[in-house]
Amino acid sequence: MIQKVDTAAIEAPSDGQIYNAKVLQDFFKKLEENENLKNQKINIVHIGDSHIQGDLMTNEIRKNLQQKFGNAGRGLVFPYQLAKTNGSYNERFKSNRTWESYRNIHPFKSCPVGLSGIGLWRNTGGFVMEMNVKDPAYKFNTIKIITPQNQNMFDLAVSSKINSIQTTERKVITHKIKKGEVLGSIADKYNVSIEEIKRDNHLKGNNIRAGRTLKIATNETRSKTVSMSEFVPLTLESDSYTHYYNSENALSRIFLIPNKEASDFELNGIVLEKDAPGILYSGIGVNGAKYSDYNKYPLFFEQLKALHPDLLVFSLGTNESYDHLDAANYIQELREFIANIKAQKIDAPIIVMTPPPSLLRRKPNTYIDDYTRKIIDIAQKDGFAVWDLYDEFGGMSGIKQLKIQGLIGPDWVHYSKKGYEKQGNLFTQAFLKAYDNFKLKN
């Protein structure tokens, strides 16, 4: 007996298009409604590995979609610099204190690893964390702080005030040592002790030489004004997921300071929004990450709700291939990842982006080829859409051409800025084509 094969389930996606785009219909309805009424924020969250952490591909998608649908803000940001790793060029963070950090790619540890895939924390206060937004397009009106269990750990400030205190200090004079003088005679002259002179001048013994100078703190006093900088906390509000502040004026700089009631300070992410409708495109990426790394930390999935995703995009698979993970186990990790998201009652449609072509130990990466085929095979059954980046960039046979065009980097795994921007532009084209097809049908 010949068994019939459901060809619809294994049909290859059309060239450059999003496969199984019918699952995006509700999202496209919301997008169309906002295009007409311009009355809401639409949240897209893109989760991945090092291809996403640098925010080159995602920044291109963000700019493209916001140009068409409106710029509602930058979305999720994270102080990658304080965790000693690379991040987006859009934001720069600095702090007067060092921070502890831990990434989800390492063995499981009881650290505050949540939404950003990287835990960042301090056990003592005394810090000022400054954030500067470099791109004027992403000045923000609202800033939201994401912490474990939404604890109130941070205050915000936009400026500091100078407090001046009047005090007194001992008058210090300079004494040039004359021939024949000893410490005792100099001490007697100024009515101070030998030990004080030795301490103030870092002398180990009593021997001194003529011609040298000594600093002498006399018993005379003089008035002194001490100026101290103090940050003025803003009044924060809170909802179920974040503590936040809204400003009438658009901001490009803000300071995070310790909340005086807190003893621990753990930061999982910051969301920047504008007082405008349109697209928020948040990128979450960790160098070296796999689906299994995100699956290790329940806090990631709990905090994902703070971004209110209307659409989820996944870009993972390169690092699984370096672990020689077979396609069946790769799909198992993908399905567990989706199940963990749905367990949080997040019902956003999903686009799975197949991993881009790469070499594995200087040979064609056949694992990526297997993952791509399997992702497409299960897409309809599992109810997600697929954008086939692997095929768009030439698959196994096209990788040399990527090198000639300057699109792939010297490690044959990561891409150049030009390469990531091309990926972002191709995805945008496929996305908008699927959206236009939806509008034509409706």
For 126-130, 162-166, 293-297, which range has the lowest pLDDT when averaged over its residues? 162-166
Phi, psi of 27, rounded to the nearest 5 degrees:
-65, -45
- Work out the average pLDDT over 251-255: 96
Distance in angstroms (rounded) separating the CA atoms of residues 125 and 264: 8
Q: What is the C-alpha to C-alpha distance for residues 119 and 297, in angstroms, rounded to an integer? A: 11
Q: How confident is the model at residue 220 (pLDDT cuts 50, 70, 90)?
A: confident
Say what the pLDDT of residue 188 is.
Answer: 93
For the chain, give the number of residues: 442
Question: Torsions phi, psi of 205, nearest 5?
Answer: -125, -170
Q: Tokens standing for 253? A: 């700089």
Report the predicted TM-score, pTM, of the whole model to 2 decimal places.
0.84
Tell me the angle at which helices 366-382 and 327-342 cross, rounded to the nearest 10 degrees. Answer: 40
Is residue 372 within 8 Å of 387, Cβ to Cβ?
A: no
If you average pLDDT over each of 6-10, 232-236, 430-434, which comes out highest? 430-434
Is 73-152+236-275's fold the same as 162-229's?
A: no
Looking at residue 167, what is its pLDDT? 73
Q: Are 51 and 416 in contact (CB under 8 A)?
A: no
pLDDT of residue 5: 36
Residue type for position 140: F
Let me know: does 379 contact 20? Beta carbons within 8 Å: yes
Asked if the model's pLDDT at residue 232 lies above 60, the reply is yes
- Measured distance CA(359)–CA(355) in Å, rounded: 12
Please write the tens of the pLDDT for every residue from 137-193: 999 999 999 999 999 999 999 986 555 667 778 889 999 999 999 999 999 999 999
34, 277 contact by CB (below 8 A): yes
Q: Which two tokens stand for residue 223?
A: 């008035």
Buried/exposed 320-351: b ≥16 CB within 10 Å, e otherwise: bbeeebebeebbebbeebbebbeeeebebbbb
pLDDT tens-digit profile of 353-362? 999 999 998 8
Cα separation values, 283 from 27, 95, 386, Å? 18, 23, 18
- Rg of the chain over CA atoms, in angstroms? 30
| End-to-end alpha carbon distance in the chain | 42
Where helices occur in 19-84 by DSSP H, the ranges are 25-37, 50-53, 57-69
What was the pLDDT predicted at 394?
95
Q: Tens digit of pLDDT for each residue in 388-400? A: 999 999 998 999 9
Q: How far is CA 14 from CA 118, 221, 235, 357, 431, in A?
A: 37, 85, 52, 19, 13
pLDDT tier, 8 (very low <50, low <70, confident <90, very high otherwise): very low
- Return the pLDDT at 3: 38
Q: Which CATH fold would you assign to the domain 73-152+236-275?
A: Jelly Rolls (2.60.120)
Structure tokens at 18: 């999003």
Question: For residues 348 and 312, is the Cβ–Cβ distance under 8 A?
Answer: yes
- Superfamily of segment(s) 162-229: LysM domain (3.10.350.10)
Instruction: State yes or no: pLDDT of 228 exceeds 60.
Output: no
The beta strand positions in 177-212, using DSSP E, are none
| Rounded (5°) CA angle 356-358-360 | 140
Q: What is the CATH code of the structural domain delimited by 12-72+276-441?
A: 3.40.50.1110
pLDDT tier for residue 7 given thresholds of 50, 70 and 90: very low
Q: Calculate the average pLDDT of the chain.
A: 93
Contacts with 426 (C-beta within 8 Å, 6 or more apart), sequence order: 16, 389, 392
**Angle CA(428)–CA(385)–CA(393) in degrees, nearest 5?**
50
pLDDT tens-digit series, residues 336-390: 999 999 999 999 999 999 999 999 988 889 999 999 999 999 999 999 999 999 9
Tens digit of each residue's pLDDT (9 = 90 or more) over 311-320: 999 999 999 9
Q: Which two tokens stand for residue 116?
A: 């950003």
pLDDT interval class at 219 (50, 70, 90): confident
Q: Give the HSE-up count for residue 423: Cα atoms under 13 Å, Cβ half-sphere.
A: 30
Domain residue ranges of the chain, discontinuous segments joined by +: 12-72+276-441, 73-152+236-275, 162-229
**Which of 9-13, 21-25, 213-217 is least confident?**
9-13
pLDDT at res. 101: 98
Instruction: Report the pLDDT value the prediction gives residue 196, as an integer from 0 to 100.
Output: 92
Mean per-residue pLDDT for 110-137? 96
